[in-house]
Amino acid sequence: MPHLLTAILLLAPVAQPTPSTPAQQYKALLKEYNPVSGGMRKAQTDLERKAAVERIGAYPSRFIALAEKHSQDPIAVVALTQAVQALGTTDSAAQMTWEMNGAHFPSDSNDETAGKLVALLLRDHVKSDRVGLVCDRMRYGYRLEFEKFLRAVLEENPHRDVEALTCLSLAQFLSNRLKMLQLARDRPDLARRFEVVFGKDYLPELQRRERAGLARQIEKLFERATQYDDVKAPHGDTIAEKAKTELYALRHLSVGKIAPDIEGPDQDGKQFKLSDNRGKVVLLYFWMEY
């Protein structure tokens, strides 16, 4: 009998300990979220894509709840950073599903999650030296609420590295909003998609922005960011180098700007200059051989 009891005990599953510390709770939630966040890549049908969006969309509020519960713990800003990322993934997945399904589907993308997220960040972290990555993540986002936080950090945060990254991120965030405005103007059919994914007030709020004034703001922010040549960006280069690249594209590679001249041999070996075709509609095809 003792041998049998020992065997039963050995075969019994070992219960996993419940995460106790805030860091352990975050790690457990992140482990749960990671496979879900890639669900769109595996979805094959309309129903699968809809389900994937709904599964992903459940997580931003859970990261926010964790941060709110442990607001004085260092893990709070980490959880809020992940909430920004998860919210962006949700919005991107919702847009992708709308494009592929071509039909309305229920979505929580236009809920109050972004407002609550920004409220917590403004309350607890606007002057933190650890909030730079939050701002970096926001530059990819679609939520209009993010602008309020980015501007607050740029104005109030005392840390030069955070200020530099926020300046660049705000410029990129606003630049993306300007592109959305131009896209909505060129493709009126997108209005319905924006309403489904972001709510009925999203596009009207965006359209209240004066495009020329917004473009000037963006350029000034990029110009300001070129001053931070001593601050490293998260993904290589300095903040100044990245800002200079953005400024060059804004001033020379945008619609309506004069393209930089190029010169070289064409496919027949004849010397070619782009400026020789100014005023014409031309197709340039570049290729290379290995």
Domains of the chain, residue spans: 21-125, 131-254
Supply the pLDDT for residue 202.
Answer: 82
Tell me the C-alpha distance between 81 and 137, whole Å: 7
Tell me the C-alpha distance between 124 and 77, whole Å: 9
Element (H, E) at 273: strand 271-273
Supply the pLDDT for residue 106.
Answer: 47
Supply the pLDDT for residue 267.
Answer: 81
Closest among 167, 186, 163, 187 to 175, alpha carbons compared: 167
Supply the pLDDT for residue 33.
Answer: 96
Closest among 106, 110, 87, 89 to 98, alpha carbons compared: 106
Cβ atoms of 224 and 232 closer than 8 Å:
no
Tell me the C-alpha distance between 236 and 242, whole Å: 9
Closest among 111, 94, 166, 108 to 133, alpha carbons compared: 166
Tell me the C-alpha distance between 227 and 239, whole Å: 8
| CA 140 centroid distance within chain | 2
- The burial class, CB within 10 Å (0-12 / 13-18 / 19+), for 138 is buried
- Packing angle between helix 22-37 and helix 46-57, nearest 10 degrees? 170
Tell me the C-alpha distance between 160 and 154, whole Å: 10
Tell me the C-alpha distance between 228 and 5, whole Å: 69
Q: Which residues contact 159 (CB under 8 A, 6 or more apart)?
A: 129, 132
pTM above 0.75, yes or no: yes
Secondary structure class of 200 (helix, strand, coil): coil
Which parts of the chain register pLDDT below 70?
1-17, 19, 97-110, 288-290
Rg (alpha carbons) of the chain, rounded to whole number: 24
